[in-house]
Amino acid sequence: MKVLYCAGEQAAVVLDILRRCGTSDEIVLLDDDANRHGTALDGIEIVGGGDKLGELDPSHTAVLVTFGARQGVRVALARRVTEHGFDFFNAVDPEATVSATATIGVGVTINALTYVGPNVTVDDHVLVDSNVTVSHDCRLSEGATIAPDATLAGGVRVQQGAFVGAGATIRDHVTVGANATVGAGAVVAENVSSEETVVGVPATPLE
């Protein structure tokens, strides 16, 4: 059995990945919004919230937290899942390209048309959206989010919980600090401090 925890837009993307990968596992949807319980996402009923984890058998169930961009939430929910003793699975789109020398953690989603290059490390609970380039020797730390069409040149470090916006470009060997935000379309040529938000071309701190 595979459980998708958070049944929003990102869950719909993961459902599509699983179906195109030909999964035969039963899929269960959970969401903490009680107003959504009993409704369906792409034909699959949302059966309850995270409290339902206690009713499932961890020895026959793997979980993926399918929460999008809000910083810290995906990792916090993953901690809750871990407390119940579950393992995590990854969702890698069949149209993504992942180097054989890349290292991928658990609870990771990599969407269609994304390239993950040689010697890249993708830590646990990272979301790499569609049409992203993650060049050689990059490291994406736990809970980082890379939005569609972003380009990370070689050796970039995206630290824990950081968010790189759609269409952003990050120069080689730049570090984006923990829980920092890179705005959509930004061109980042210098390190970004933890908790900092940068926007524009070239990227500068948001006042």
Query: Which residues sit opposite 48 in a β-bridge?
Result: 30
Query: Which residues sit opposite 207 in a β-bridge?
Result: none
Q: Which pair of tokens denotes residue 32?
A: 């903490």
Residue 39 and residue 33 in contact, taking contact as beta carbons nearer than 8 Å: no
Rg of the chain, C-alpha, whole Å: 17
Taken in order 55, 81, 3, 30, is the CA torsion positive or negative? positive
Three-state DSSP at 73 gives helix
DSSP 110-125: E-TT-EE-TT-EE-TT
- How far the first Cα of the chain sits from its last, in Å, is 47
Residue 63 and residue 85 in contact, taking contact as beta carbons nearer than 8 Å: no
Q: Where are the alpha helices (DSSP H) in the chain?
A: 9-20, 73-83
Give catalytic residue positions: 136
- Exposed / middle / buried, residue 122 (Cβ in 10 Å: 0-12, 13-18, 19+): buried
Q: Which residues contact 204 (CB under 8 A, 6 or more apart)?
A: 198
